[in-house]
Structure 1
Amino acid sequence: MNSSDFLRFLRARSSVREYSGEPLEEEDIDYILACASTAPSAGNREAWDVVVVTDDDVRLELASAALEQVHIREAPTVFVVCANYVRSMSHYGERGILYALEDATIACTYMMLAAHARNLHSCWTGAFEEDEVREVLGLPQHLRPVALLAVGKGTPLLEPMERMPIKEHVHRETW
């Protein structure tokens, strides 16, 4: 893949909130997780964990915890990406909290791109009641849910979302 193909690939990905409900193949799930495992991480601590949710009842509870966002219920698989503080803090102390959040975020980004590479659709969801998600999944205290990544065969937007011009984000040398 050349750089033009890569940019086209990235621009073709969008958040999708409508899914067919058709289950993912186990090989798709394995591929997405394998891609996440290649993500860079602070000190190679890999301070992230994922709960793969395919059960209808659990997805319904997650949708409730996610402020009733329907796509969490309708997507056949939801990857709950968590920061693992212990893995990072054991090496970096308090700074490890930030590193664990970054590790989880990068791993989730790789998962979105992996889904896109498999012609699947995804939607990163960060709006949820953290304690509810923790309770639904029985997460230990050293894990913090960072994102609910809905993945499935979906209905993409007909028109790409408008993006801010790059110059609105970039500052050179100083602000």
Structure 2
Amino acid sequence: MLLRLFSFLFLIWMIGFAWFTIDLPRPAGSDVETDSAVVLTGGPGRIEHALRLVEGEKAERLLVSGVDRNVKPNELAAQYERPESLFECCIDLGFQAVDTRSNALETARWAARREDRSIRLVTSDWHMRRARLELERALPPEISITEDAVSTAPSLGTLFKEYNKFLTRYLAALVGI
């Protein structure tokens, strides 16, 4: 009986992992506009993608969440070859977040101050599900979230770790943790 239960749970885990790896989130359409965008640091292409959104007026303002405390806006402007005026008018740097959960909390506080009704979430495709889960838990339900995944080519190891993190956080959320 115990072996059957274990086998059944393992089968469910395998089916979930297959879904997780095969159906990665995709970039949002170019016609989608939101009040703001948030980009979670930590992966290649994320910040560049988010900057193009602000430049293309797909979001009024951008939060770069999880920035190192020593980074200055002019340094980011130079690194991404953008005018400092773009960072002065339209981009906020968030220095409080150290992980996905604190990214969500930082974003929720920022969005509340701005009274946003819609947010575009920018992160890597393999990270999107867990980031969205955390953001949905932190934001009030009346704020809509648009997923805008940066396409990557994640390794099987990256997908394995991220799936297990997502599953753990999802189960923890079910029990209220």
What TM-score, normalized to structure 1? 0.29
Could you say which structure has the greater relative contact order, defined with CA pairs below 8 angstroms and 6 or more residues apart? Answer: 1
What TM-score, normalized to structure 2? 0.28
Please tell me whether Structure 1 or Structure 2 has the larger radius of gyration of its CA atoms. 2
